[in-house]
Structure 1
């Protein structure tokens, strides 16, 4: 299991516009085997889960480790994970975080919670963030070695850097006029 990937997918889930089942299918673009299982109820369930999960990222961004852990534990209690061992080839065992009867929403919730919980235990509770670029409100997972990520994407980083550069240029120009 790649728990970092699950944690990163949880950020994608929080950031997604899940207006309907079609939007969820677009989110699952690379996971085509799930497309046929998506129903409207999955999108509705995941919209509620987005509202529950965003505060975890906000608490981490605020460096409130106790709140991150408390909220994740509450979500784990509310959304029990039912992992099982699977083997698609003899002798090659691996874990799945949701059983075979789980809906797409239950699978994504389980992946999110296990990914974030493992990330918090392995890398710390302050590895989740909210983008610093104005007006972006997207969340992200920071796996950088020095925990320096501040933006959800290269696009937001570039936009913020250009805005800061222009502000410095205006300040220099105004200082020269004075």
Structure 2
């Protein structure tokens, strides 16, 4: 395990949120799409359930995407800004099926603020651990999705949004076969 379980969960949620806009596809176009995303990621707490909330999540997604590829100093500034804007006050919490983990906002804070604070707390762990090199962009030429490499040998290079790894492996195989003939 590279990070605490709640950090890994939050980082995967960040990856999944950023990738809702990968490769020119928008998969958070409607409030219902956001509802589905939040359900699949296990987000709880207050919800407005309106277009303004969806818009604020889109804005957060852009900020997190910029942080994903930022250098360390820029990432630190962005993480601190997210925490400052939320007046973050970390506390241990236990709810639903989750064991003890950190929350830094109230359950009734606006959704994008809660999501941003959770992401910032996870990214703070990544930065403090000097593990930003685990935050990647898919190596497939036609893909701009982000990748979280939690593998032991730091070998993950392709996203989980499609079949990028399979396509790359098939192309490499065909290239090798072409040189054999």
Deviations 1:128-174 (A, max 9, x none): 0100113111112111122221111283211111112123333444x
Match of 2:13 in 1: 9
8 Å Cα contact 2:18/2:65 also seen in 1: yes
8 Å Cα contact 1:72/1:113 also seen in 2: yes
Match of 2:51 in 1: 40
Aligned: 1:23 with 2:30: no
Structure 1 residue 99: deviation in Å? Answer: 0.4
**Greater shift in the superposed pair: 153-162 or 46-55:** 153-162
Deviations 1:13-41 (A, max 9, x none): 11113212111112123337559653322
Task: From the CA coordinates, give the structure whose radius of gyration is larger.
Answer: 1
From 173, 177, 180, the counterpart of 1:169: 177
Task: Give matches, 1:1-178, under 5 Å.
Answer: 2-16=6-20, 17-30=27-40, 31=42, 33=44, 37-59=48-70, 64-86=71-93, 94-122=101-129, 124-153=131-160, 155-173=163-181
**Structure 2 unpaired stretches of 5+:** 21-26
Matches of 1:83 and 1:114, distance apart in 2:
9
Matches of 2:131 and 2:43, distance apart in 1:
32
Matches of 1:32 and 1:110, distance apart in 2:
13
**Structure 1 unpaired stretches of 5+:** 174-178
* RMSD (Å), alpha carbons: 2.8
Matches of 2:9 and 2:44, distance apart in 1:
18
